[in-house]
Structure 1
Amino acid sequence: MLAETICSAVSAAGLGIAAVTAYRKRFLAATRIAAYSLVPIGLVLTGVVQWVSDIAFRPSVWLGFGLLGLAWLLFMTTRAIERRGVGTRKERKAAAKTAQRDAVAPAASAPSLGGGLPAAQPQAKPKQQDDATGEDFSDIEAILKKHGI
């Protein structure tokens, strides 16, 4: 009953403000204010206000909202843990076995950058310097040899 009275008072005040705004020749703003002020009385007449006030003052409803919030929190926590890859040891082992089975070369490790048998080095050609151009490519040749090219 109190909620309905408050909504009616708000609607009446809004319509009064709309009338003053229309008196000042601001018809578009007055129409918008009148539209907003009719919403609370419309909610009262449709019964929405009674339904909301019944929900707001029942402890069982708030307990239900609390349980829904707890369920949501648990879902989000488990999703975050799954994304991090943290799980039980059994789950991690099963995932590793599945990944190893799906691998193309399961015994292969990450590519090594050295430490294996040295590759056969091609015979270095004696340096031939073109005296006609006068350019020295020894530094470039040293870089290429360093990289095995």
Structure 2
Amino acid sequence: MSFDQIAWLPLCGGLTAVGLVLSFLAFRRRGAASGLRLAAWSLIPVAAYLTGALSTLWKMGTAAVGFVTGLVFSPTVWAGVAVTGLAVVLYLVSGVMLGRGAARQRSGKKAAPESVPEAAGAPAVSAGAPTQPNRPPLPRRRPAAAAAAPADDDLSDIEEILKRRGIS
């Protein structure tokens, strides 16, 4: 059905009339604010017809429906959706793999070295690591319980007595 085959003035006028009746009922039951708001919404169909915006809205609707039906029924489009899904999965898997590699390096284990060919006597440098001289590893921190000093000298005396007697 095309735009010109529909009698738009009676349709828009009818929608506006029904909306105005409902806005009167809302005015009586819920108050002036609800009635006025519904009356404002009710006037939109006639305003769209009188300004000519209705034909533009019709064209936008038919274009959207044509796009969606072309999207749903086209095997080429579904192939594109599948390739997009594959790209997203590969990206997420690479993020997990990079996260595991960073966790290994933080825990002290060495990740698999990347093989980079040496160029004319230059030392091999991994692709992502900045060039820095070798540094000695940082000393490990003591556990929190051992690092905490006793709060009171009386308690340290009691702890010493208990350790001498074998009670700890």
- Give the alignment's TM-score, normalised by structure 2: 0.42
Greater relative CO (CA pairs within 8 A, separation 6+): 1
- Give the alignment's TM-score, normalised by structure 1: 0.45
Give the greater-gyration-radius structure (CA). 1
